[in-house]
Chains A and B, each alone.
Chain A
Amino acid sequence: MTPKREGAWMGSAEVFAYTHASEPYHALTIVAPDVCARAQPGQFVAIRTPDDRSLLLRRAFSIHRVDRRPGWAGTLEIVFDIRGRGTEVLSKLRQHQPIDIMGPLGRGFRMPKEPTNCLLVGGGIGAAPLHFLAEELRGRGHRVDFLIGARSADHLLHPIEAKRMSITVTFTTDDGSTGKRGVVTDVLPDAIVGTKARVVYACGPIPMLRAVAQVCARMKIPCQVAWEEVMACGFGACLVCAVPVRLSSNGNGEDGWGWARCCTEGPVFSASRVHWERVEVPGTPAHEVVG
């Protein structure tokens, strides 16, 4: 008899704080000790939209930060921009209001065992899970450097926090309003060399992940990418969030591939496992239900 599976915590939690430090990002801090106790960087929570029953599905948000100081009920923070009705409703939540959450879900970033130089590469809102990751890596004695890109200066996610948590931070913006003009992959090779990085963690839009993976493959640096794909359930039942991956042991050594579920096998994948030739990139994310 196979052992019983452990599930995510599911229930009504309480909003501890809503913050909207600057456009376009909104943040909710949620009191959820059971989720926090088990949460790993790169994992996500699935949240039901309050009040509006016409919005059926849970929305997936990567865990931006976790605070589990002894003696306090653990809190976690999610960050989002408004992409539709669901995130708009969530941005109206305030302190003490209930929020239906499920988590932690998915498989997070794998962390090195020995002290290692880690380069964290984020694009736009994709930098969100990297803050949690940076805290955990630092706590285990790893060196953390950031490379963060965005459309413009105001789209850089918490740049001051990123500076606080790392040895060096490099910013790029499409319009040059802060840091170097361009995209993260323009400066990635130099950043890898400059920080003596031995592992790269990336989260952001799929074209960025693809470009980061190519640079890392060329420079023979292991790379993990946190994927974003439309989800319906978040726990592996619906097969909506399909990600094409190479199958390691198909025997014939050919184009062995299959779909992995972003929500359960991911959202963090080794970049070398993703079957990039089969990754299709739509013009923009089709929907706000993303991992």
Chain B
Amino acid sequence: MSQAQPKRGRFVERSAPDRRTEFKPKLGVDLNGVKFSNPVLTASGCFHYGREFEPYLDVRKLGGVIVKSLSVKPWPGHAPPRGAEVTSGMLNAIGLQNPGVAAFCDRELPWLLDRGATVVASIVGNTVEEYIRVTDRLRNVAGITAIEVNISCPNLEDRSRMFSSTPDSTSAVVRAVRRVATQPVFTKLSPDVTDIVAIAKAAVSGGTHGLSVINTALGMAVDTESFAPKLSTFTGGLSGPALKPLALRCVYQVSRAFPDVPIIGQGGIWNGADVAEFMLAGAWAVAVGTANFVEPSASIRILDEFRAYLVRKGVREASALRRMLKDG
């Protein structure tokens, strides 16, 4: 903190307010060895593989890009309608459409690296074996900074229940991925659980390096004129500012339980103050999701606002916020 140095005296500190606006806050964050140049990443599924955003921002300036989830083989995703707007949020039922991990490595990753992006690969599977095979394809692939395991996916070997919904299936996936991966592993938690700390604990016991908190929450919307659900799948993932209080609560609970496990906070981040809020609640970094759809340059604006916030509050290091939440 920028407490006045004793020898300079208070008078100097107060009469020279421009000294506060002069300093450049340290934005870089170190998630126990996984380093990002700033704490603002883009969230999986909300940034595709980056190319569409090229006219609107420089991916090099982002803390990192968490790419759309990758499966072993291409997944077609769900039939339309795949999206619906709800109050302060949106629902999606894309169904994890993606070209597969091999196509990503061949066609998308080189572009991201060429543009200087820090890449986090999100992975999915319908069985533990599929998670292992995706991870295997990413072994020793240059330019993958970390792997994010998306466990909000139906487990075909368990009546299509989400892997994320029980501690056992969570730790089983994480342990399997961890065994094969050559990069640090982050596990993305779903809020649709009775006790998110219990799931976090399972991920930690499975050997996860860090946690992404949270994925979308399952929601629903119905068209009352046509009596039809607004999504082809009836239910789908809720994202956007509507999700933010829920996400903050999850980040707070998990960070209190595991203060040394790095957390990437996500859920409805729309401005610089939102970033600060997540970091005060215990996040080590954040990811911007739905805002990218409305404003393709949103993540850079959010980063700029966050930087200005740090200056205004006299906080010299972004990562310091994590320990600045006041008690009660």
Contacts and interface: CB of A to CB of B under 8 A. Distances in A.
Contact of A283 (B52, B55, B227): B227
Q: Chain B binding site: helix, strand, loop or mixed by DSSP? A: loop
Contacts of A197: none
B1 interface: no
Contact of A284 (B84, B94, B225, B296): B225
Interface of A: 1-2, 4-8, 10, 48, 53-58, 86, 229-233, 235-243, 258-259, 264, 278, 280, 282-284, 286-287, 289
Interface stretch (B24-32, B73-81, B119-127, B179-187): B73-81
B294 A56 contact: yes
Given A236-B48, A238-B83, A259 B292 contact: no
Given A259-B97, A286-B223, A286-B230, A237 B46 contact: yes
B114 interface: yes
B55 A8 contact: yes
Contact of B55 (A5, A243, A278, A280): A5
Contact of B241 (A56, A235, A286): A56
A286 B220 CA distance: 13
A26 B54 CA distance: 34
B241 A258 contact: no
Main secondary structure of the interface of A (DSSP, over half): loop
B48 A237 contact: yes
Contact of B52 (A48, A56, A235, A287): A235
Contacts of A54: 87-88
Contact of B293 (A230, A233, A284): A233
B292 A282 contact: no
B82 A239 contact: yes
A289 B223 CA distance: 13
A54 B52 CA distance: 25
B interface, size bucket: 35 or more
B267 to A, nearest CB: 14
Contacts of B45: 238
Given A239-B94, A240-B94, A10 B82 contact: no
B244 to A, nearest CB: 12
Interface in B265-306: 290, 292-297
B240 A240 contact: no
Contacts of B77: 239, 242, 259
Contacts of B295: 10
Given A229-B80, A230-B83, A56 B90 contact: yes
Given A5-B51, A238-B83, A287-B84, A282 B46 contact: no
B89 A56 contact: yes
Contact of A5 (B46, B48, B54, B294): B54
24 contacts: A7-B296, A10-B296, A53-B88, A86-B85, A229-B81, A230-B83, A231-B83, A232-B92, A233-B294, A233-B296, A237-B292, A237-B296, A238-B46, A238-B92, A239-B77, A240-B82, A240-B83, A240-B92, A284-B223, A284-B226, A286-B84, A286-B228, A286-B230, A289-B85
A284 B94 CA distance: 20
A28 to B, nearest CB: 19
Query: Which of B55, B76, B89, B297 neighbours the largest number of chain A CB atoms within 10 Å of its CB?
Result: B55
B49 to A, nearest CB: 9
